[in-house]
Amino acid sequence: MAFMMRYGHFVDRQGDTIDEVMAVYMPKGKSYTGLDQVEIFCHGGRQVATNILNEIVASGARVAEPGEFTKLAFLSGRIDLARAEAVAEIIGANTDSSFHAAKEHLLGAYAEHIHMLREEIIGIIAEVEASIDFPEEEIDPADTRRLIHMVDAIIRQIDDLARTYTGGRIIKEGYKIAISGRPNAGKSSLFNLLLRQQRALVTPTAGTTRDYLSEWIDLDGFAVNLIDTAGLRKGGGAIEKAGRKSAIKIISDADLLIWIIDLSEKDWLTKLQADLKFIKKHIKLLVGNKIDLLKDYRKVLGQAKDADLTPISCLTGKGINELKKKLVGSINDNMPDLTSGLVVTSARHQQKLKQAVKYLRAAKKKMSQSDSPEITAFDLRQAAGAIDEITGKVYTEDILERIFSRFCIGK
Ligand SMILES: Nc1nc2c(ncn2[C@@H]2O[C@H](COP(=O)(O)OP(=O)(O)OP(=O)(O)O)[C@@H](O)[C@H]2O)c(=O)[nH]1
Ligand SMILES: [Mg+2]
């Protein structure tokens, strides 16, 4: 039966019309949830919808939990868990790249790849278990070598997939760039410049920014979360100390650190050398600011032999385009190829993939030690089980609760 949309009046229990509406009935097996389903289309506006909803609830219905429709779709077997999660990603996508990745997940290339990996593991389990059934027969070492080879190939594939999460997380959550440096270096000035608005307070007083400021910018189609932090220096009052503490946390969470220094200071190089020790663990871009105050900034930069500094002036805007190009380059270096659709954007999936790799490695070790096939099969089954949790072949109420509670109501 084709769906048919009907026109009519929505009347309350007293018989009064609330609104002129359209309604469509979707029978069991053909609806999103897989259950009998009706959708009512009323006029836009909060109050009309609220009145209709109240009337339906008063007649015995209840409001859906967040993600309940998609959860029902999963429970009725219409979609697997990876696709259900992709629905939430589609809704949450706020850049073209996150939308693209989510769409690929929903279309299924990703789920199919996961399914294929699972089938490969199941194939190996079958072979290993076959030797359990015939314990009297000697296992041919060539067979063992072949199986180890197959396990190795799967480990590599799963490992590669799990690694795409570095880029996948960026696609989903945005690329975090923290601007940090000593007080008065021009952090807030750079923040405003990249934001193209006077968002942060800029003053000649060192220690102006105490709390951090966080804004979103679009850099070449990527969502970038730009964070201006308090300047880092010893001493200062309690407020400055608290600001410094939060700045250090932000720096360690960032995907990229912009460390900005004031090139107009006589002792900038000594300071920079001390700073580099402090930030050595971070992925960073060193920026030399206030070149407008220097007669020959190239000569000044030449003093820093091994440190690669990007010269800018927040006052004149010189060097900003070059800096932006470097920022985009740094994002691109971290991004996976999106065209294949094989990008892990969920921390849960990454964790399950890593778990699978762990069990596969254990199985491989046991195979090469010629342990009993029962023990090897156990590890392989654990690996397949971890993969099954991604697609939802195996799930617990707890997992469903965690996934669907993140949805918005009505999805
Ligand atoms: N001449 C010159 N002055 C600049 C430049 N960039 C920033 N300044 C000045 O330097 C001072 C400090 O700038 P801010 O952007 O507030 O520096 P900050 O690093 O955020 O400082 P705190 O928040 O106090 O740590 C202000 O007086 C700015 O106008 C620049 O490129 N050239
Ligand atoms: Mg500031």
pLDDT tens digits, 176-189: 999 999 999 999 99
pLDDT-derived band at 336, boundaries 50, 70, 90? low
pLDDT of 135: 65
Average pLDDT over residues 317-338: 87
Q: Which residue has the higher pLDDT, 392 or 337?
A: 392
Amino acid letter for position 38 = V
pLDDT of 362: 96
Looking at the CA of 189, which ligand is closest?
1
DSSP assignment letter at 66? B
Tell me phi and psi for residue 401, to 5 degrees: -60, -45
In the reported structure, the alpha carbon of residue 203 is separated from the centroid of ligand 1 by a whole-number distance in angstroms of: 7
Rounded Cα gap, residues 185 and 203, in angstroms:
11
In the reported structure, the alpha carbon of residue 202 is separated from the centroid of ligand 1 by a whole-number distance in angstroms of: 6
In the reported structure, the alpha carbon of residue 184 is separated from the centroid of ligand 2 by a whole-number distance in angstroms of: 7
Please work out whether the CB of residue 231 comes within 6 Å of at least one atom of ligand 1: yes
Beta-bridge partner residues of 25: 38
Please work out whether the CB of residue 289 comes within 6 Å of at least one atom of ligand 1: yes
Both structure tokens of 210: 């105490």
Q: Which residue has the higher pLDDT, 370 or 63?
A: 63
Please work out whether the CB of residue 244 comes within 6 Å of at least one atom of ligand 1: no
Helix (H) or strand (E) holding 40: strand 37-41
- Is 138 a residue whose pLDDT tops 80? no
Q: Which residue has the higher pLDDT, 388 or 237?
A: 388
Ligand 1, atom 17, residue with closest C-alpha: 186
List Cα–Cα distances, 292 to 181, 311, 324, in angstroms.
Answer: 19, 10, 19
Could you tell me if 218 and 238 are in contact, meaning their C-beta atoms sit under 8 angstroms apart? no
Is beta strand 284-289 parallel, antiparallel or unpaired with respect to 256-262? parallel
Q: Which residues of 170-203 are buried (b: 16+ CB within 10 A; e: fewer)?
A: bbbbbbbbbbbbbbbbbbbbbbbbbbeeeebebe
- Is 339 a residue whose pLDDT tops 70? no
Rounded Cα gap, residues 140 and 143, in angstroms:
5
Rounded Cα gap, residues 168 and 322, in angstroms:
26
In the reported structure, the alpha carbon of residue 204 is separated from the centroid of ligand 1 by a whole-number distance in angstroms of: 6
Please work out whether the CB of residue 189 comes within 6 Å of at least one atom of ligand 1: yes
Rounded Cα gap, residues 109 and 340, in angstroms:
8
Contacts of 265 (CB under 8 A, 6+ apart): 271
Over pLDDT 70: what percentage of the chain? 96
Half-sphere exposure of residue 190: CA atoms within 13 angstroms, side-chain side: 33
Average pLDDT over residues 245-259: 90
Which of 187, 191, 202 for mutating ligand 1's site (highest number of atoms within 8 Å of CB)?
A: 202
Helix (H) or strand (E) holding 320: helix 320-334
pLDDT of 150: 95
Tell me phi and psi for residue 324, to 5 degrees: -60, -40
Rounded Cα gap, residues 60 and 53, in angstroms:
11
Could you tell me if 9 and 16 are in contact, meaning their C-beta atoms sit under 8 angstroms apart? no
Tell me phi and psi for residue 220, to 5 degrees: 55, 40
226: number of Cβ within 10 Å: 23
Over pLDDT 90: what percentage of the chain? 50
pLDDT of 182: 93
Beta-bridge partner residues of 20: 9
Please work out whether the CB of residue 274 comes within 6 Å of at least one atom of ligand 1: no
